[in-house]
Structure 1
Amino acid sequence: MDPVIIAGAGPVGLALALALARAEVPVILLDESSGDDERRPARTAVLRPDTAALLEGLGCRAGQAAVPWTGWRTMRRRQVVRQLTLVPGGLFPLGPAGGHDGPDSRGYDVGYVRDGGQVRDNGSGGHEGSSGGGPGGSDSFGGFSGGPEGDEAEEPELPSPLHLPQHELTRALRTALAAVPGENLVRIISGTRLDTLEQDARGVSIHTRGAQSTWWRGSYLIGCDGPRSTVRKLLGVRFPGRTAVERHAVAALRAELPWPGEAVLHRSPPWRTVDAEVTARPLPRGVWRLDWLLPPGRDLVTPDALLARVHDTLTGWCGDPAPPYELLDTGVHTVHHRLARRWRVGRAFLAGDAAHLLGALGTQGLDEGLRDVANLSWKLALAWHHEATDALLDSYQAERRGAVSARLRAADQALPLVRASGGWHAVRRSVLPGAVRTHDALLTDGHLGRGPLGEPPVYGRSPLAPAAAPEGSVTVDTEIGAPAADVPVTAPDGSLTRLRARLGRELLVVLVAPGTGVWDRRHWLRAGLMPRLAAAVAALPVRAELLVTEEYPGAPAHTVLLVRPDGHLVAALSGVRPAELYACADAAVGGKAARGGAAEGSSAEAEAEATAH
């Protein structure tokens, strides 16, 4: 079969090429640039735990160039409202970063909110109930002061995001691609731009201009070519939405701030009445990215105005005179909200910024693009190596477009409340998606990847879900369609690993068997329920890997879990049920009944019209 063609060599295109290559699918990657990534310290990427795990599983060592936040601090005027302790777990471990209760089932330590004395704004720019002094003192904000805000309860586990310059992420992805074994498995064509696209029942033909002006033939085409996607335009797909939802002035600078390793959200800083909000997020080598939310309008941000923001912010945080700093990069970041009407047209797909734009209230477009990769790569690999149904390929749009659409709706509903003149009081009185949330908590959720603005998607109404709950289903702590917990598992060779490390191309069947740690791993496939379960797995319609875990959150002994290659839970069954397991596995890959059924792309189009944003 012809290779898969990917247009666009940004982080999403590179990650998709890497995922397909590791599944032994040949790839042609069209790169409009010369292959040299521009160094822009102010252009950064935030990776949540699930997307960081995806890259690590693909062999991308982006974590070596990243900083996990050790805490998250929110302030209002000069008052510290809350500080969350974030303790990174098994992905890219650091030393202890505060108190914790030990590892949870996913390998992360459980963080908590430190409770302290209550703090009140005394109306003079200072605060009461803290141990520190004002500007110029040993601690301008008196350390942490204040417990949960309003009705907020103590926070649950808080795994840390990773923060790194985007050019470092791109470099790590290129390095991982270069290390993929297999001759000519990945061809990167630099300085080339797609200008013509034709499709037929067996593949896609495209023409490029630039360094190589020629025709290329592929089995599938994926447009990862950004907001102005040529692929999307050639497919005639509309890209409706909102322009300039938010604007931020951005600066990357090297300086010593009072909160090493912590991310900071400061609302209504008293030193600049025109700026409603400023955030600071640490980067490697003592660098920080600072973002100032700009007032509505399209006023030009001059260099002098940006330098004034830097000076006023550093003085407000650290005292007068401002600490020395080295300004590395500046810019203006404009947030747009757009959603493509269709993500699949025949053998062509859209992913990343070509399919969606978002980013208000701390949401991260790159995270969503990498989730596109996780969802699409295993389906394309299955289609390339074996016959696949339209239901399987259509499910990419149904699942991912639905998830991003929900994220955009949540942000659009919250924006008028969070940015209204009533501020956080208006939010407290208003029901937002999921719960009543304060301004601080809502923004924190967006930045940390929790709640409706950031948590990993749940494909509960997926077309790949079984039509009805199979007989013998049991309830576990993971919702069907949600990412499975990253529990320790025993692989068929007897080695101990983690569930996420086994994700990729095959379905996973996991038996919950307490006490397996005492088994002789050389003979574990012959013990207990394993012979019957191994026979049931061997009879499945697609390849699957059989794993064992000592425990899974909320699962009784002898529960059998079926997990998709992208880590989402398909079913939880009580004991060995070959017929039910087969039916669930068949549904998870599109189902035999759908093979050769509806016209290519037809159900995707219907879903797009039904859920148009």
Structure 2
Amino acid sequence: MRPLSPHGGDPVAVVGNGPVGQTTALLLARWGVPVLLLDQRPARDAAGSRAICQQRDVLDVWASLGAGRIAEEGLTWTTARTFYREHELFAWSFVDRGRSPLPPFVNISQCRTEQVLDERIAEQPLIDVRWSHEVTGIAQDDSGVTLTCATDRGEVQLRACYAVACAGARGHSVRRALGLEFEGRSFEDRFLICDIRAELPGWESERRFYFDPAWNPDRQVLIHPCPDSTYRIDWQVPADFDLAAEEAGGALDARIRMIVGDRPYEIVWRSVYRFHSRLVPRMRVGRVVLAGDCAHVVAPFGARGLNSGVADAENAAWKLAFVLRGWAPETLLDSYHTERLAAAVENIEVTSATMRFLVPRGEAEWRARRALLDAAVAAPDERSTVDSGRFAEPFWYVDSPLTTPSATRPFPGRPPRGHAPPAVPGVLVPDAPVSAPGASRLRELVRDGFLVLTTEGVDPAATAGALEGAVSAPLRVVRLADIDRAGTVAEVLDARPREAWVIRPDGHIAAVLSEPTPGDLGAAVRRALGSARHDGENVPTSGGAGSSARPSDGVISEAPG
């Protein structure tokens, strides 16, 4: 991104300095928005692996922030195997509809992810980090937000234009100050999690899930490889499980030996969790939006927690930046709640279905599950209903008010495990190599503003001219053939002649227009900017305080520079 002049006025407050808050702060700073990053802890807590599975599209967000080391240092795994007792039921691998150089998933400890993001934050003068600041009160008015914080020096009040609450599942005081319930349920069974350092040849690049193994009868075990010969092992254990007693009596060692055998091993970290499924009713309350675990918590099977939180961060950051810089009306922020609440609801539905299969309720459900697993050993057709977790995937904004639907490119529904849907409006655009100054792949072009790709039969100069008076936001019109000399992008998009593709700053396809008229293009871009007006008028530019759009922002028609 070309350097932007800093947005004037009060900063955006980001409450919570975990990975979601860190990502939010870095994304806002990338748009030239100053950030006050608050956390109630006195310093970074570096204990434990915690959230370890980072999905390709999240790695892409971090790469855009200069944190590509997370993908480089993480351990790439490509295959997921599911077993019932000694029988392998199925295995599947991730299929990239595009041609991304990033791995589908890497495993890396959350504390290492936080360290890398902290390094980027330390280099960013627009981010002011303040530890030991517990937000105890939030007051709002027409021009901003006042945060009351308990600090080690007493109570202080801080002023911000907007706030993003990333305070985690335990952000009770923040939710309470916003008048939000955190409704849902907790699961009775517990899960013992251990990080084990050991040599397990052949297991370094695959995730293994076991139903009812001999070494954990009627329950599950999940094994994930991590860097430095470390394995994350999750055992489902009874509600009354006592870790201290198991350690003292040698049962924990016996449990681990059932997996690693006689090999030497080291316990790096261990903990016991109960999983929860909870959601706030609103993800925007006036000038405050909620993100990550502060807004939604899900069971971890499928790695949908942190991955969805980073998607929250990117969605919130570009919309806040566009409003603050005067590029979009404040109504754009309403779509944050609409889009990300829908994503959270889907994640809860997917993970709750997994938990119902993992932890049946009552003897009748247990018998039904055993019967299904027994049948799946001999009958491959039964295996599709065995649920060991559907992995994190981007939410598809097919029904978003920002998306212009296409009759010729309808959304076909949820694809098979490990696959992505075709490129249609609402879907995250597939990545692919491009030949453009300063960019080697398509996703690197989309985060500087709106990108409009034109195919044969649509003149990019005329397209830019049609948008010049309709849009004040950064928008670039590029002839697809100029950046796609090998035709790879056209192939992965299934691009056709006489089309214009409108892609949002977070990479989601806002519209695919066939034989677009100037009115069609203007309406699609204004819709993607949160304006309900489709009458040919310009999008308002006074929605945010401190507008500082530079003269060079706006529509250009050329290969990116």
Q: Structures share a fold, TM > 0.5?
A: yes
Map of 1:569 onto structure 2: 509
CA 1:427 to 1:480, structure 2 compared with 1: closer, same or farther past 3 Å? farther
Between stretches 390-399 and 78-87, larger displacement belongs to 78-87
2:35 aligned with 1:27: yes
Map of 1:151 onto structure 2: none
Q: Is the 8 A contact 1:532 1:576 kept in 2?
A: no
- Structure 2 residue aligned with 1:6, among 10, 14, 23? 14
Q: Percent identity?
A: 29
Measured after TM superposition, the shift of residue 203 of structure 1 is: 0.5
Q: Is the 8 A contact 2:246 2:252 kept in 1?
A: no
Map of 2:269 onto structure 1: 329
Which amino acid counterpart does residue 57 of structure 1 have in structure 2?
S
Map of 1:76 onto structure 2: 84
Q: Secondary structure at the match of 1:438?
A: helix
- Structure 2 residue aligned with 1:480, among 425, 437, 443? 425
CA 1:26 to 1:338, structure 2 compared with 1: closer, same or farther past 3 Å? same
CA deviation profile, 1:453-477 (whole Å, cap 9, x unmatched): x3211111112234x659xx66693
2:370 aligned with 1:460: no
Distance 1:15 1:82 in 2: 35
Distance 1:15 1:572 in 2: 29
Distance 1:309 1:458 in 2: 45
Q: Is the 8 A contact 1:427 1:439 kept in 2?
A: no
Map of 1:585 onto structure 2: 525
Map of 1:301 onto structure 2: 243
Q: Is the 8 A contact 1:465 1:570 kept in 2?
A: yes
Distance 1:306 1:214 in 2: 46
Q: Is the 8 A contact 2:209 2:220 kept in 1?
A: yes
Q: Is the 8 A contact 1:314 1:323 kept in 2?
A: no
Distance 2:401 2:189 in 1: 34
CA deviation profile, 1:230-278 (whole Å, cap 9, x unmatched): 22111111111002365210111110113223221122111332x6111
Structure 1: runs of 5 or more not aligned: 88-102, 110-158, 514-526, 601-613
Map of 1:221 onto structure 2: 163
Which amino acid counterpart does residue 460 of structure 2 have in structure 1?
M
Distance 1:163 1:17 in 2: 23
Which amino acid counterpart does residue 284 of structure 2 have in structure 1?
R
Measured after TM superposition, the shift of residue 339 of structure 1 is: 0.3
Measured after TM superposition, the shift of residue 346 of structure 1 is: 0.9
CA deviation profile, 1:151-201 (whole Å, cap 9, x unmatched): xxxxxxxx6311111110111111111223xxx411111211122221100
Which amino acid counterpart does residue 431 of structure 2 have in structure 1?
D
Distance 1:306 1:571 in 2: 61
Distance 1:436 1:458 in 2: 28
Map of 2:104 onto structure 1: 160
Task: Output aligned runs, 1:193-342, within 5 Å.
Answer: 193-211=134-152, 213-229=155-171, 230-244=173-187, 246-258=189-201, 259-273=203-217, 276-295=219-238, 297-302=239-244, 304=246, 311-317=253-259, 319=261, 322-342=262-282
Give TM-score scaled by structure 1 length. 0.74
Task: Output aligned runs, 1:394-433, within 5 Å.
Answer: 394-420=334-360, 421=366, 422-423=368-369, 425-426=371-372
2:118 aligned with 1:174: yes
Distance 1:20 1:424 in 2: 50
Measured after TM superposition, the shift of residue 308 of structure 1 is: 5.4
Q: Secondary structure at the match of 2:32?
A: coil
Map of 1:543 onto structure 2: 474
CA 1:86 to 1:570, structure 2 compared with 1: closer, same or farther past 3 Å? closer
Q: Is the 8 A contact 2:406 2:513 kept in 1?
A: no
Q: Secondary structure at the match of 2:451?
A: strand
Task: Output aligned runs, 1:72-151, within 5 Å.
Answer: 72-85=80-93, 104-107=97-100
Structure 2: runs of 5 or more not aligned: 1-8, 361-365, 412-421, 545-561
Q: Is the 8 A contact 2:526 2:533 kept in 1?
A: no
Give TM-score scaled by structure 2 length. 0.81
Alignment RMSD: 3.0
Between stretches 504-513 and 455-464, larger displacement belongs to 504-513
Q: Secondary structure at the match of 2:243?
A: coil
Q: Is the 8 A contact 1:352 1:372 kept in 2?
A: yes
Distance 1:176 1:106 in 2: 27
Distance 1:105 1:573 in 2: 21
2:374 aligned with 1:438: no
Distance 2:288 2:197 in 1: 43
CA 1:366 to 1:424, structure 2 compared with 1: closer, same or farther past 3 Å? farther
Which amino acid counterpart does residue 202 of structure 1 have in structure 2?
S
Map of 1:531 onto structure 2: 461
Distance 1:53 1:484 in 2: 12
Q: Is the 8 A contact 1:417 1:426 kept in 2?
A: no
Distance 2:140 2:131 in 1: 23
2:56 aligned with 1:49: yes
Measured after TM superposition, the shift of residue 410 of structure 1 is: 3.0
Which amino acid counterpart does residue 198 of structure 1 have in structure 2?
A
Distance 1:46 1:186 in 2: 27
Q: Secondary structure at the match of 2:301?
A: helix
Between stretches 338-347 and 387-396, larger displacement belongs to 387-396
Q: Secondary structure at the match of 1:25?
A: coil
Distance 1:307 1:73 in 2: 32
